[in-house]
Amino acid sequence: MSVPDTSNQQPPSWLYSPRTAFPRTGTDAARDFYLTFASITQFALYVVRMASHISQISESAREALFDTAHTDAERDKYQPSEDPPGPLVELAYHRQFFIGILLVRHVENYLNYLSSFLFEIFTQRPECMKSSEKVDLEFLLEHESMETLVHGIAKRKVESLSYSSFSALASFFEDHFSLSICPAEHFEVVNEGIETRNIIVHNRCVINRRYVEKTGDKLDRVGEHRDLYESDLAGLIPVLFEAVKSLDRTARRHLGIRGHRFDITKILSAEYASARKRMLKAAAP
């Protein structure tokens, strides 16, 4: 893993969220996606910056001890190492685990957005739920009004679709709403990201037959460990962000789904201030 030195240069674009990148209008589902997206990338940036900062402090301390040593024997103890251990080296060593965490969280955030967005469509446009599917009497009797019934049907439909494949979700959006879930040129990237998430969570990142079938990979790779690299994040994360932004904007325009104004930066700042206040209160004697 190539860990950036954040003291002298900007980190890669997938690792941070420019304040101007977030739309100011969107559905509740989009707002929640952007908030989680920002939280994930800010945490990743915090980890990298902390490791870089500690490494710089360690090097400064070594140089100071070397300069103030009184004897050659003391100076020998503080000679720079050809392969110095430290937080950045440790972070690079744990590349697979660190990238895996970020990839899983971003993919799950994207899938949660799709489920939440479908729920908004179904509740705001109940006619979109028309189909040949049967609803049993017991389910009907559980609801006291048409409004709660619509919410119940929407929730059940969303849950069933969320367990489907990405291709099934894409087909559902296309067939029912004439919406493209993501640009065609990015479909394979998103699909592979989702299937990679699946083997990370369910198979210790070992390639299985489902992964090969869903991604078109070579069958002889079944049983291999799927190595994760920075390029996996760099190729996937911006695509997920743009896919949500495009889908949310297009659906609001074509389906008339209500949107709201929000400021992600202000929301996060308020949440941070609230969390800090709770932490200080808990730490107080």
pLDDT per residue, tens digit, the chain (285 aa), is 444 443 444 566 566 554 447 999 999 999 999 999 999 988 998 898 888 877 777 776 767 777 777 787 777 777 777 665 678 788 888 999 999 999 999 999 999 899 889 889 988 888 887 765 677 777 877 888 877 887 787 777 777 777 778 888 899 899 989 999 999 999 999 999 999 999 999 999 999 999 999 999 999 999 999 999 999 999 999 999 999 999 999 999 999 999 999 999 899 889 888 988 898 888 887
DSSP letter, residue 178: -
182-212: b (≥16 Cβ within 10 Å) or e:
beeebbebbbbbbbbbbbbeeeebebbeebb
The set of residues, in sequence order, having a beta carbon less than 8 Å from that of 94 and lying 6+ positions away, is none
Whether the Cβ atoms of residue 181 and residue 243 lie closer than 8 Å to each other: yes
pLDDT at 5: 42
Whether the Cβ atoms of residue 59 and residue 88 lie closer than 8 Å to each other: no
Whether the Cβ atoms of residue 207 and residue 218 lie closer than 8 Å to each other: no
Three-state SS at 61: helix
Rg of the chain (C-alpha set): 24
Which residue in this structure is represented by tokens 């460990």? Answer: 225
How many residues are given for the chain? Answer: 285
pLDDT at 63: 72
pLDDT at 227: 96
pLDDT at 241: 94
